[in-house]
Structures are given as structure tokens and as C-alpha cells.
Amino acid sequence: MADGPGGETLLFLTDEHLRKGIEAMFFAYRGFTKDPDRILTEYGYGRAHHRAIHFIHRSPGTTVNNLLSILGVTKQSLNRVLRTLIEDGLVESRVGYRDRRERNLFLTEKGEALEGALSDAQRARMRLAFRNAGPEAVAGFRTVLEAMMDPELRRHYDGVAERGQ
């Protein structure tokens, strides 16, 4: 009674299912950020610091502009965060080699230590969820989330920086 052209059932597309999916995102995201948030508070940092630290760790040597386009905030906003991380000795900013206007960002040893603590906590919860759900559910999870991203942002998710241009 609710079959599409291919004959598949489309019951999973009802408004009620979609609402449930929306709330799943809302409540799961709360769990997703809870553990890192607790650690960040101990260090006097916020979620914005976490994001900067995460992406510098993932792409060492990334430029400020690249980070801006990943995070989607203004440079004034990012700069405030970056400045404290540099002052506190968690991030190092080196003048670009090819283009001396650019700054290449790196985590210091201290920065890597905090990154490790944060992502250990976040991965622990994710690992438990993945394990309980099983590999097929995890594949579906990834598929749906990927389909939900903006194409613009999807770029940053798919490829991890083609540094050689």
C-alpha cells in the first residue's frame, strides 16, 4: 500500500519516522559532545577549542583559511580561540614555506596530549555504540549522515586535504 516505483516499501519515509530521526540526531548529539565537554571544562576550554584542536590534529600544517572554511565561522571568532591555544602552548603557528603570508598550524606535544584525552573519551562512547549496533548498522549510520551533509562541507569530510594541490 505504500510501495514506490521499484516496489520497495516507503514506510520509512513517513513524517513520523522523519520526526523520530530528527530527535535521534538531537539526543545523540548531546551524548556525542558530553564527554569531551566535561574534559574541556576542566581545562577551561570550550567546544570551539575542541573543534580547532581536532582539525589541526587531523591535518597538521593546515592554514587558517582552510580551518575557517571547515569550521564555517568568521576569522575573528576563530582567531580568539586560536590565540588562546597558541598562548597556552597547545598550538604552534609557523610561517608558510611556499607562501609566507600563510600560517601553518600544528599541535605541540601538549596540544596532542589534550587532543588524545578528548578523542579517547569521544571514541570510547562511539566504540560502544558501534559495537552494540554492529557493522551493518554502522554502515547505514555513515550512509545516512553522509547524505545529510551539505555538498560544500562534504568536501572536507571526504578528502583529507590535497596538500600538493
Partner DNA sequence: CTGGTAAAGTCAACATAGCTGACATAAAAA
Partner DNA sequence: TTTTTATGTCAGCTATGTTGACTTTACCAG
Question: Where along the sequence are the contacts to a second copy (CB under 8 A)?
Answer: 8-9, 11-13, 15, 17-32, 34, 51, 54, 58, 72, 119, 122-123, 125-150, 153-154, 156-157
Rounded Cα distance, 104 and 137, in Å: 38
Q: Minimum distance from CB of 143 to a second copy (Å)?
A: 4
CA 100, 103, 108 angle in degrees (round to 5)?
Answer: 135
Cross-strand partners of 95: 103
Q: Is 55 in the site for DNA (CB under 7 A)?
A: no
Q: Which of 138, 135, 142, 144 is nearest to 18 (CA)?
A: 144
Q: Minimum distance from CB of 128 to DNA (Å)?
A: 25
Q: Minimum distance from CB of 155 to DNA (Å)?
A: 16
106 or 130, CB closer to a second copy?
130
Sheet holding 62-63, edge to edge: 62-63, 103-107, 91-95
Residues that bind DNA (CB under 7 A): 44-49, 63-65, 68, 72-83, 93, 96, 99-103
